[in-house]
Amino acid sequence: MSTATEPIRGGQPSIPETLPEKHRETLPLGPLKNIHVFWMAGMSCDGCTITVAGATNPGVEGLLNGTVPAMPKMLLHHPVLSVEAGAEFMQSFRDAWERKLEDPYVVVFEGSVPDERIAARTGGYWSAMGSEVVGEGSEGEGRLVPTTEWLSRLAPGAAATIAIGTCATWGGVPAAEGNPTGAMSVMDFLGKDYRSAFGLPVINIPGCAPQGDNFTETVFAILLFLQGLGPLPAFDELGRPSWLYGETVHRGCTRAGYYEEGVFTHEYGGAECLVEIGCWGPVVNCNIVKRGAINHMGGCMEAGGVCIACTMPGFPDKFSPFYKAPPGGIVSTATSRSVGGVIRRLRRLSNRHANRERRWDVNNDVPSGWAHLPKQNLGLTVMEFFYQKWQLWGARKPGRRPGEEERFWGATRPGKPSDYHDTSVSEGK
């Protein structure tokens, strides 16, 4: 079985030293009426398939039915979701390999890519799809075709090759330290010199499992490019959609405000920041909190769980064990506590200041029947004096100009509740 990488030593792929070459496009740009999608799975739990099936923006149903405006109809060849089975199902894969398809195709790979040479030493395989006869005539022998081999066959002629899920993008759990399969990512397997028929390197949509909308949205953007209706979307240096994975989890987390104030929870289910019970959100590229898990709802931190960095290339080895606080968090949380303690108290004073009407400050009384609120103390009065001086520095103070106070009743001092019930006032005396 051929790959684009150098021989593997000790179960780890070596990186070619040659620079990537420029490849000319071998397929014309759109408009396209149909596009085939060949979905293959290596060392996978099928979680990526489940999340994509639940995508809503756009939904996979619209892409399959061709009802999404400006999009070609997507012809999906999926080992689980397709109606065809057996030889009828595998025929489309053979047609794509032999360049017999009339329409272009995209390869989607789910799960990590195992080193089939390890299994072949004992006549076995790690992951296979379909069978074929090797040899001629009655002496031919049947064999199962590893999905790794199908990836080698179809990737060169694909309009794009997309790795979905952390197993396919970075190797994931099957490639963890001590694994027996020599598992690796699609990018490791095809090598950095790989380019699709349209000149694209491997596109990576990480996550364990990724948000389904991240995948369908990326496919939508790529199809617009293939249709000739838009530019190639922006990807980062690792082939991730930059508009989806450009920010850390922490920046979009609803608990981030607690972090900067130095408030951390020490038990699951707490409302405060989760860093001290093992959350890696401050350093992880993911949009799970902003987008939600399914149908824009949920998400790890929204549900009270910690971020275990499942979208990152170093997952899981560099983030284990998941129940311990990150080593770097000791320094950052200690700093956050010392600075955040001061910030938290200053904000508490500002909150009390903002929670009072101007009339209440003048009368030194809050007419709330819900609870007794203490009168303004000396410390808050002094703080507000200097705060307002700074607030109005170089600006005009709200209210009437000097000399205009007596033109309107009550302009210099807001009346107390008893004033509004004075008959002499109500009769204009």
Bridge partners for 134 per DSSP: 141
Q: Evaluate whether 281 touches 272 at the Cβ level (below 8 Å).
A: no
Q: Evaluate whether 350 touches 273 at the Cβ level (below 8 Å).
A: no
Question: C-alpha angle 76/80/84, rounded to 5°?
Answer: 65
Which residue type, as a one-letter code, is found at position 423?
T
pLDDT of residue 317: 94
What separation in angstroms does the CA of 27 have from each of 74, 120, 333?
17, 35, 53
Q: Evaluate whether 326 touches 275 at the Cβ level (below 8 Å).
A: yes
Q: Is residue 371 part of a domain?
A: no
Three-state SS letters, 184-246: ECHHHHHCCCCCCCCCCCCEEECCCCCCHHHHHHHHHHHHHHHCCCCCCCCECCCCCEHHHHC
Q: Is residue 427 part of a domain?
A: no
Q: Evaluate whether 205 touches 165 at the Cβ level (below 8 Å).
A: yes
Q: Is residue 174 part of a domain?
A: yes
Q: DSSP assignment, residue 335?
A: H
The closest alpha carbon to 264, from 334, 321, 320, belongs to: 334
In terms of Cβ atoms closer than 10 Å to its own Cβ (0-12, 13-18, 19+), residue 69 is: exposed
Q: Evaluate whether 110 touches 116 at the Cβ level (below 8 Å).
A: no
Phi, psi of 91 (to 5 degrees): -60, -35
Provide the CA 102 distance to its chain's centre, in angstroms: 35
pLDDT of residue 160: 94
pLDDT of residue 45: 93
Q: Is residue 115 part of a domain?
A: yes
Q: Evaluate whether 241 touches 248 at the Cβ level (below 8 Å).
A: no
Length of the chain, in residues: 429
In the numeric block, the tokens 């739990």 are attached to 45
399 Rama sector, left if φ>0, alpha if ψ -120 to 50, beta otherwise: left
Q: Evaluate whether 93 touches 38 at the Cβ level (below 8 Å).
A: yes
Q: Is residue 238 part of a domain?
A: yes
Q: Residue 389, SS3?
A: helix
Domain containing 79 equals 34-130+142-245
pLDDT of residue 25: 47
Write out residues in the chain with pLDDT < 70, as ranges. Answer: 1-30, 135-140, 404-429
Number of folded domains in the chain? Answer: 1
Q: Residue 115, SS3?
A: coil
In terms of Cβ atoms closer than 10 Å to its own Cβ (0-12, 13-18, 19+), residue 280 is: buried
Q: Residue 357, SS3?
A: coil
Q: Is residue 283 part of a domain?
A: no
Q: Mind listing the pLDDT tens digit for each residue in 198-257?
A: 899 999 999 999 999 999 999 999 988 888 888 889 999 999 999 999 999 999 998 999
Could you give the CA distance from residue 206 to residue 187 in angstroms, rounded to a whole number? 12
pLDDT of residue 122: 92
Two structure tokens written together for 210: 């990724």
Q: Is residue 328 part of a domain?
A: no
pLDDT of residue 58: 83
Question: C-alpha angle 180/186/190, rounded to 5°?
Answer: 110
Q: Is residue 365 part of a domain?
A: no
Phi, psi of 272 (to 5 degrees): -85, -175
Strands 105-110 and 34-41, by their bridges, are parallel
Q: Return all residues near 201 (Cβ < 8 A) that are at least 6 apart.
A: 20, 187, 192, 194, 195, 239
pLDDT of residue 417: 56
CB-facing half-sphere around the CA of 17: CA atoms within 13 A: 0
Q: Mind listing the pLDDT tens digit for each residue in 323-378?
A: 888 888 888 888 888 898 888 888 888 888 888 888 888 888 888 889 888 777 78
Count the Cβ atoms, other than its own, within 10 Å of residue 294: 16
Bridge partners for 73 per DSSP: 34
Q: Evaluate whether 265 touches 272 at the Cβ level (below 8 Å).
A: yes
What separation in angstroms does the CA of 360 have from each of 345, 349, 370?
22, 16, 16
pLDDT of residue 113: 97
Domain of residue 194, CATH code: 3.40.50.700
pLDDT of residue 18: 38
